[in-house]
Structure 1
Amino acid sequence: MSNMFCFQCEQTAGCKGCTGTQGVCGKKEDTAILQDELTGALIGLARVADVSEPTSSTHRAMIEGLFTTVTNVNFDNNAVQRQIDAVRRERKKLTSQCSSVEYDMKELWNESEDIRSLKSLILFGLRGMAAYAFHALVLGYTDNEVNQFFYKGLRAVGDDLGMDELFPIVMETGKVNLKCMELLDKANTETYGNPIPTTVPLKIEKGPFIVISGHDLRDLYLLLEQTKGKGINIYTHGEMLPAHAYPKLKAYSHLKGNFGTAWQNQQKEFANIPAPVLFTTNCLMPVKDSYRDRIFTTEVVAYPNMVHIGEDKDFTPVIEKALELGGYKEDKIMLGINGGTQVTTGFGHGTVLSVADKVVDSIKNGDIKHIFLVGGCDGAKPGRNYYTEFVKKAPKDSIILTLACGKYRFNDLDLGSINGLPRLMDMGQCNDAYSAIRVAVALAGVFKCNVNDLPLTLVLSWYEQKAVCILLSLLSLGIKNIYIGPSLPAFISPGVLDVLVNNYSLTPVSTPEEDLKNILG
């Protein structure tokens, strides 16, 4: 019998859970077991931290450990074991208690359906929030409330609590994640400047180049510094696309454009690529032989037998590989999913709020009748063309805000403009849901109404745990009538779903036509 059970991502087998020898994401059974052991050790650390004051190194071990368990981050058993060892060392610094404080994840999987569902929401929300906390941490930004909540949340996962006790902690997870996203927004903008609207070409110029994927802006900055004057161009991939909008990063002339489309297409798009790829975070897929010698990882991302760049951040192996491979002999024109040759990004809250008067006037005079936020994670599972069709069918008097990698379904479309405002505005990475919230709250203030009374609808796609914590943040703010898809999480029980539907009018997506009809009346 398999000891593997995992249902934390959208593609989980049969919409029930991955068992057997390998998950749908490519995670092997032994890796899944180690990640459960790591989670149990983290719960043990949280229990000890309740009676002994954690230190900055305790916080880092907690954040890195949670981040390691996010989908498509770490496939390397040795790397996961090192995280387990680091967590246990931190626990021993705080207390001499034995390993009995650790938690066996089988206890969670065997809980009653509703309890398991609420605890999973907390756990997966914490994993997503840890990714954001990590990106802020490496830039020198931390928040004590955020750090302390990791311990509180994990203790709740391991404790014998009922639904009435767990549900407030679920909502608190969302509330604290909002503060964490605000912290990361501050870290990114104070370090690299406020994003500005930027057009990003999809063309790859001839000559040596490096593709950098993931979310970590600091890794990109360090790579740009180390490649100055070396004749190597840098191209973003996936969630690194919004980096082009930050003034300090876009100042590097060898940051040229964006490579490829969404993360789930990497196994095809990276095949025989004449350049190395550096993964700074998820989403890393099982590596194919056609590009195995070109993949490099850093931070908590790891894959067996890949070259890993350590804390010294010496990217020399990546640079040498780029020069060795030489890049394309001629310029290569790459296309977006819909055939476009460029995309735009950089419409963060600073930019959108700077033209808030134009947005408000356009709403008041009827030129803009509705605003849709269509964003979230992308994925390979059938049904995600819903988001492409939704955007295409949205009325021409509507604005589309987007963020995260779900935008690759439609971000190369030319939707035109309304009174000089682009109809399609990319607000950034998944953590830039904070920008969308800032804009919504500001508009509600101008119109002297509740956010739920605005002509605004959120249409979200989810895949992994960062989308979970964002959804919890939205719910914690009391935002209702959110459409979510392409399928509901396997870890949401019917009982918990009833609560979310009744209290927040959370709605599974159906068809673009039907949903637009229901939204617009």
Structure 2
Amino acid sequence: MENNMAMEYPMFCYQCEQTAGGKGCTKMGVCGKTPEVAALQDLLIFQIKGISCYAKEIVEKGENVDKDIVSFVENCLFTTLTNVNFDADVHVELLRRSQEIKEQLRSKVGAIKNTTEHATYNLSSTKAEMLQDAKKAGIMYDQDLDPDIRSLRQTIVYGLKGISAYGHQARALGYYDDQVDNFYIRALEATTDDNLSVEELIRWTMRTGDMSVAVMKKLDEANTEVYSNPTPHKVNVKMKKGPFIIVSGHDLKDLEMLLQQTEGKGINIYTHGEMLPSHGYPGLKKYKHLVGNFGGAWQDQQKEFDSIPGCILMTTNCLMRPRETYKDRIFTTNVVGWD
């Protein structure tokens, strides 16, 4: 029954360049996202907007929101980014955690001026009910909303999702920017405020761009301080004899952990896709079993992974539907996942 209810949900996802016909996916995501997952992602964004309505009160007092809450909001934004997580059960668990956090903040903050449904909504108990509730969280809801307001709100949210990808990686290395952390909260709350004009939302959109630059600066600081400044480096692109693991994505911390755990085991490590630049960092290329790069861009993974006998580790936002030929050998880390 739940699957049928999910299919009734009016899916409309247009957050990436892969969308069907360049206009949006309405039946099934080109990336493999189901209407059910799309609905749960809409509701998850709806929930962290509600969390932000309460957390904003803390920011307005000049205080920093608890970093565990910021990390949760950041991870939720990142989870809903393209090619990150396709597992409905993971989204249900995140939704349940979001309600716990919302209730904690309600108790701490008390009554607030923002009485939007994002703030007042309480999560339903079952997945089937959540999928029904998600109808009011998607972009198809509230057809009377000014299209310019809708567009600017969506632009801000998608900007925040991009920021979260960099922020997530920096935080994994112990680095963060309080300004960016507070902006997650303030900007998400702003997208719920019906009193904001087009001009005011344009200013919020511009600030989102500023925060994108700030978070990239913080990630660069994290990567270079932990792994030293990268330098041009020749990379082997031929497979060597012996067992191997291919690692794809962007997260240098995940790569480092894999290198540490496989050192001295006779296992070769190859990068794939966006992980290629890691070969330039002294702190990573010191590992002799980081022997080269396999394949090309992330979108070629299904074809490239089709016949290889080794294991694959996917980090960050590079996952596509695994083929039957390798689905028993592909693994994911952190917020990344397939059901």
Aligned ranges 1:118-517 → 2 under 5 Å: 118-160=152-194, 161-304=196-339
Q: Which residue number corresponds to residue 87 of structure 2?
A: 76
TM-aligned CA deviation for residue 112 of structure 1? 2.9
Partner Cα distance (1:246, 1:299) in 2: 23
2:95 aligned counterpart, secondary structure: helix
- Which one has a larger percent helix, Structure 1 or Structure 2? 2
What is the SS of the residue equivalent to 1:199? coil
TM-superposed CA distance for 1:107, in Å, is: 5.9
Q: Is residue 2:43 matched to residue 1:46?
A: no
TM-score by length of 2: 0.86
Q: Which residue of 1 aligns with 2:147?
A: 113
The AA in structure 2 aligned to 1:67 is F
What code does the residue aligned with 2:75 have? E
Indicate the RMSD between aligned Cα atoms, in angstroms: 1.7
Q: Deviations over 1:34-82 (max 9, x none)?
A: 0001000010011011224620111111110100000000000111122
- Aligned-pair distance for 1:100? 5.4
Partner SS, residue 218 of structure 1: helix
Over 3 Å counting, the alpha-carbon distance change for 1:155 and 1:179 in structure 2 is same
Q: CA deviation at 1:102?
A: 5.9
Aligned CA distance change for structure 1 residues 107 and 5 (closer, same or farther; 3 Å)? closer
Aligned equivalents of 1:157, 1:205: Cα separation in 2 = 52
Residue type at the aligned position of 1:195: P
Question: What CA deviation, in whole Å up to 9, does each residue of 1:282-301 have, x standing for no partner?
Answer: 11001110111011011100
Indicate the residue corresponding to 1:14 in structure 2. 21
What per-residue deviation string (whole Å, max 9, x for no partner) do you get for residues 137-189 of structure 1? 11111111000000111112222132111101111001011111100000000
What displacement does 1:197 show?
A: 0.6
The gaps in structure 2 that reach 5 residues or longer are 1-7, 60-64, 122-135
- Asked if structure 1 preserves the Cα contact closer than 8 Å seen for 2:9 and 2:39, the reply is no
* 2:9–2:36 contact (8 Å) kept in structure 1: no
Structure-1 separation of matches of 2:164 and 2:282: 26
* One-letter identity of the residue aligned with 1:203: K
CA-CA distance at 1:113 after TM superposition: 2.5
How far apart are the structure 1 equivalents of 2:229 and 2:99?
A: 39
Structure 1 CA distance for aligned equivalents of residues 167 and 99 of structure 2: 21
Q: Is residue 46–residue 118 contact of structure 2 (8 Å, CA) maintained in 1?
A: no
Contact 1:118 1:170 (8 Å CA) reproduced? yes
Q: Deviations over 1:328-387 (max 9, x none)?
A: xxxxxxxxxxxxxxxxxxxxxxxxxxxxxxxxxxxxxxxxxxxxxxxxxxxxxxxxxxxx
Aligned to 1:67: 78
Deviation of residue 274 (structure 1)? 0.6
Check the 8 A contact 2:245/2:311 in 1, yes or no: yes
Find the counterpart in structure 1 of residue 127 from structure 2.
Answer: none
Structure 2 distance, partners of 1:201, 1:247, is 16
* SS of corresponding position for 1:290: coil
Partner amino acid, structure 1, of 2:138 = K
User: Which secondary structure does the structure 2 equivalent of 1:4 belong to?
Assistant: coil
- How far apart are residue 195 of structure 1 and its match? 0.2
2:29 is aligned with what amino acid?
Answer: G
Q: Which runs of 5+ in 1 are unaligned?
A: 305-521
Q: Distance in 2 between matches of 1:124 and 1:112?
A: 18
Q: Which residue of 1 aligns with 2:34?
A: 28
- The alignment of Structure 1 onto Structure 2 pairs a total of residues equal to 303
Distance 2:33 2:271 in 1: 25
CA contact (8 A) 2:52 2:186 kept: yes
Task: Give 1:101's match in structure 2, choosing from 114, 119, 138.
Answer: 119
Q: 1:92 corresponds to which letter in structure 2?
A: E
Note if contact 2:254-2:315 (Cα within 8 Å) is conserved in structure 1. Answer: yes
Q: Which SS does the other structure have where 2:247 is aligned? A: strand
Matched, 1:5 2:12: yes
1:86 offset after TM fit, Å?
Answer: 2.2
**CA 1:223 to 1:106, structure 2 compared with 1: closer, same or farther past 3 Å?**
closer
Identity percentage of aligned residues: 49
Secondary structure in 2 aligned to 1:25?
Answer: coil
Q: How far apart, CA to CA, are the structure 1 residues paired with 2:278 and 2:207?
A: 30
TM-score (norm 1): 0.56
What CA distance in whole angstroms lies between the structure 1 residues aligned with 2:288 and 2:33? Answer: 38
